Structure formats: C-alpha cells, structure tokens
C-alpha cells in the first residue's frame, strides 16, 4: 500500500488547529499543531472570494505553520464553523431522484436566500434512513462559491490538493466512529463547543441522524442548552437515554464534564479522545494529545484520504 499523508484544518477561538494523518497499513497521527490566526470564517464567510485581500495573509500563516511542523501532506481539507454555511434538515419525497432531486434542493435554498441566486451556492445533501412512518429527511448543506474559490486558491498557493470542505461538527463524526467502535450500536450524542455557539448531533447506529446549532452568549449556560437538546431528542425520536455524551471543541473542562454527569445521570459523559484508537508520532506535543478534543474536527478530516 502506498503511504500518503493528508492534512485537516479546523478553526476555534481565533486559532487554527492542524492535524496530519499518515495513511499506510495503519493510520497514524503524525502532527498536531495550533496557532493564532487572523482569519475568521464566521465573520468573513459571505464576502470571501479568490481575490479576497486577506487571502495572502492566510496563505502565509498556513505556509509558516506547515513548514515549522515539517508537514509532508499531499492534500488538505477544511472544517468550517456552521456560521459560514447553510445547514438544514428537510423532509423529502423518497421517490425524488436525479434532476428532480437537484431541483428540489435548489428550491429549498431559494426559500432561505430569495435575494441571492442559487448559482452562488455549492449544495450537497445526505438522505437519512427512512423512519417507521415511511417519511424521509435529508441533511442539506450549502456553501457560497466564494468560500470554495477562496479555499481552492489557498490550496493551490500551498501546492496541496484540496480534498474536502466540511462542517466542523460533521467532520468530527469520522473521529468518533474511529475511536469509539464499541459503542456505535447505541445512541450517542455529540456536542461541539465553539465561540458563541454549541453544535449538537445524534449518532444512531454509527451515523449522524440529527443536527442542531445553538447560539450562546457570554451569559449562556451550555448545560442548559445541552439538556434542552437531550429533551428534544427524547421527544422527537421516542428515544431512550443516550449511552454516552461526547464533547469536543473549545472550553471542554473537567468541571463541565462532572456537572453534566450529575445533571443528566449519563455516566459515560467524556471529552472526546480523538486519538483513543490512533497511534501517534512521538514528536507530537504531549499536551495536544491530552486535549485532543480540540483537534477532533481536524483529525476527522485528515482520516478521510
């Protein structure tokens, strides 16, 4: 098997998180790094383009970061905050296929952005498993073409192949599945903490089947928001208590973990260990391995060769 390396980048609290994975007989984490960044995709998402004035600075930041950490990847992927994208779960007619399905997705985007041409978006979707009632739902994700053009130009300047552009929370799904195979037969709830927001997902039979994003301000209690989502999942899916709560992203403290265990009664409430089942290079900074939940999205992207 040919050995290749892939690079995943995510963005939290004004910093870039970098993860490099070597793909050989085994997948190995060869690099984790973090650095301050001037780039804020949450704020700049709607204005980005291949000629954006911040592009050169961003390329310089990434080039310096990869050189300092002796990154040898051939491809790069980006996990963006949900603020930079449109994400929704919509009911769909299970019979729609091909051009009819594409037209339906475009119609959905037009309802939310009536003043913007649907051609300004790259749209992707993922159908969820059929429910008992026979109804079907689908994830719909749309990203502005300007964002794609910006990241394509960044990748070209770095002489790397652009592999994937994904949502931070969705990228973490791969990390969870890789590192916690023994609990995938149970319902798991995944929470991502980020600046001024919280992402929540239900993982059912090893597949993300629900997603919600919540805004948090400085006075918001993430525990209250988390319990609100758990109540919604129970009522929406007639589900039993999840087997585990896994948290990733920023500000995942031990105090928060203990408080959540006490509040929910779910003993398997933990910070997501993004390297739990992955061998890691000896040269990786050990505190990054201990706080690998911050790199969960970047690692998830890098795992997808």
- For the segment 40-91, what is each residue's pLDDT rounded down to a tens digit? 888 777 789 999 999 999 999 999 999 999 999 999 999 999 988 999 988 8
Rounded-to-integer distance, Cα 171 and Cα 168, Å: 5
- For the whole model, what pTM was predicted? 0.93
Tokens 């300007």 sit on residue: 146
Same domain, 182 and 235: yes
Residues 25 and 138 in one domain: no
Parent domain of 157: 4-82+146-173+276-303
Q: What pLDDT does 133 receive?
A: 54
- Residues 13, 159, single domain; the answer is yes
Instruction: Indicate which CATH number applies to the domain containing 87.
Output: 3.30.1490
| Tally of domains in the chain | 3
**Is 160 in the same domain as 288?**
yes
For 249, half-sphere exposure in the C-beta direction (CA atoms, 13 angstrom radius) is: 29
pLDDT of residue 253: 93
The two structure tokens encoding residue 294:
């911050």
List Cβ neighbours of 62 (8 Å cut-off, separation of 6 or more).
9, 16, 154, 158
In this predicted structure, what is the pLDDT of residue 94? 81
pLDDT at 137: 85
Question: Do 33 and 69 touch, CB atoms closer than 8 A?
Answer: yes
> Residue 152 and residue 17: Cα distance in Å, rounded?
19
The pLDDT score that the predictor gives to residue 198 is: 94
Residues 167 and 189 in one domain: no
How would you class 153 by CB atoms within 10 Å of its CB: exposed for 0-12, middle for 13-18, buried for 19 or more? buried
CB 298 within 8 A of CB 79: yes
DSSP 3-state of 123: strand
The whole-angstrom separation of Cα 110 and Cα 179 is 39
* Same domain, yes or no: 187 and 198: yes
Work out the widest C-alpha separation in the chain, in whole angstroms: 55
Q: Say if residue 44 is in the same domain as residue 150.
A: yes
Residue 33 is part of a domain; what is its CATH number?
3.30.420.40
Q: Where are the beta strands (DSSP E) in the chain?
A: 4-12, 15-23, 27-36, 75-80, 85-92, 121-127, 136-144, 161-167, 188-194, 197-204, 207-215, 244-249, 269-271
Token digits of residue 101: 């399905």
Same domain, 51 and 90: no
pLDDT < 50 regions, the chain: none
Same domain, 167 and 25: yes
The angle subtended at Cα 163 by Cα 24 and Cα 175, nearest 5°, is 60
pLDDT reported for residue 93: 85
Same domain, 184 and 259: yes
Could you tell me if 195 and 267 lie in one domain? yes
Are residues 162 and 197 located together in one domain of the fold? no
């Amino acid at each position: 098997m040919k050995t290749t390396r892939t690079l995943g980048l995510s963005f939290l609290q004004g910093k870039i998180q970098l993860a490099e994975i070597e793909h050989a007989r085994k997948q190995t984490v060869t690099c984790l790094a973090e650095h301050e960044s001037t780039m804020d995709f949450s704020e700049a998402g709607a204005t980005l383009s291949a000629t954006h004035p911040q592009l050169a600075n961003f390329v310089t930041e990434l080039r310096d970061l990869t050189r300092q950490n002796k990154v040898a990847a051939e491809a790069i992927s980006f996990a963006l905050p949900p603020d930079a994208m449109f994400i929704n779960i919509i009911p769909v007619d299970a019979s729609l296929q091909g051009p009819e399905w594409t037209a339906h997705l475009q119609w959905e985007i037009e309802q939310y952005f009536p003043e913007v041409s649907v051609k300004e978006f790259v749209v992707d979707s993922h159908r969820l498993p059929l429910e008992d009632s026979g109804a079907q739902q689908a994830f719909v994700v749309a990203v502005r073409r300007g964002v794609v053009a910006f990241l394509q130009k960044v990748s070209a300047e770095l002489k790397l192949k652009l592999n994937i552009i994904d949502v931070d929370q969705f990228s973490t799904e791969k990390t969870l599945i890789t590192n916690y195979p023994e609990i995938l037969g149970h319902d798991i709830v995944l929470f991502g903490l980020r600046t001024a927001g919280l992402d929540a997902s239900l993982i059912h039979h090893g597949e993300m089947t629900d997603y919600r994003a919540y805004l948090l301000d400085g006075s918001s209690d993430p525990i209250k928001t988390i319990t609100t989502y758990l109540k919604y999942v129970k009522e929406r899916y007639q589900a039993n208590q999840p087997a585990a709560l896994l948290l990733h992203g920023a500000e995942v403290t031990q105090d928060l973990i203990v408080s959540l265990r006490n509040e929910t009664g779910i003993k398997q409430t933990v910070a997501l260990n993004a390297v739990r089942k992955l061998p890691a290079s000896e040269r990786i900074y050990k505190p990054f391995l201990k706080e690998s939940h911050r790199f969960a999205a970047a690692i998830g992207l890098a795992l997808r060769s």
